[in-house]
Amino acid sequence: MAMPIAAAAPKILIVGDSLSAGYGIDLRMGWVALLQKRLKEKGYPYQLVNASISGDTSASALSRLPGSLKRHRPEIVIIEIGGNDGLQGLSAEEMEQNIRSMVVQSKQKGAKVVLLGMRLPPNYGPAYTERFFSVYRRVAEKQGASLVPFFLEGVAGKDGLMQADGIHPTVEAQPTLVENVWPALSGLF
């Protein structure tokens, strides 16, 4: 008996925070849904599993990751985490350890990894914002993950592309987020 295609489809697990959980927008219009649509249109059989939770920090995402890896057995893991660590002023060193552990655990389970980098607003001070931003590049280089240097490139700070809180992208920004992720992701197929 043949398995249904959806059950047999290879999975891409997205572990993120509110940016991937679709905070403030209709989930059907979020970048994850748009990415699933693009995969289907281009004939890639992947099924996206969105394990993103608004408010997640790298520590909470790391604690949930083993269960998600076991349950979904993804071929690719997209890690979009850290923004809340930065906004809460948490240790960049601890965030780096958590993200590194997420990449290592994903790769140990046979998954390829795409890491989505994040920047903080300048009001956090140049020393902290640079230390924070450099975490993503360093982890990607040392652990062999694909990197999107700044997930919100072309969106952050742009009128009409950010919600009133200045943190979360609008519906209009979601296609740009897909474009930011696509080169790193499609390079893994």
For 155-170, how does the pLDDT look when each residue is reduced to its tens digit (9 = 90+)? 998 989 999 998 999 9
| Residue 20 domain-assigned (yes or no) | yes
Where residue 4 falls among pLDDT bands split at 50, 70, 90? very low
Q: What is the mean pLDDT of residues 168-175?
A: 96
Residue 1 belongs to a domain: no
| pTM of this structure | 0.93
Q: Among 36-40, 70-74, 122-126, 173-177, which is the least confidently predicted range?
A: 122-126
Domain membership flag for residue 3:
no
The verdict on residue 42 lying in a domain is: yes
Count other C-beta atoms under 10 Å from residue 53's C-beta.
Answer: 17
Q: At what angle do helices 174-186 and 31-41 cross, to 10 degrees?
A: 50
Mean pLDDT in residue range 42-49: 95
Q: Is residue 87 part of a domain?
A: yes
Q: Give catalytic residues, as residue numbers.
A: 18, 165, 168
| Per-residue confidence band for 7, with pLDDT thresholds at 50, 70 and 90 | low
Task: Give the whole-angstrom CA distance, residue 20 versus residue 27.
Answer: 9
Mean pLDDT, the chain, whole residue set? 93
5 within domain boundaries: no
In a domain, 4, yes or no: no
The mean pLDDT of 54-70, rounded to a whole number, is 96
Range of the domain at 145: 10-186
Where are the strands (E) in the chain, listed by range?
Answer: 11-16, 47-50, 76-80, 112-116, 146-148
Give the CATH number of the domain where residue 28 resides: 3.40.50.1110
Contact 101, 59 (CB under 8 A): no
The count of domains in the chain is: 1
CB-based contact 82:118 (threshold 8 Å): yes
Dist. CA 58–CA 51, nearest whole Å: 13
User: Is residue 118 in a domain?
Assistant: yes
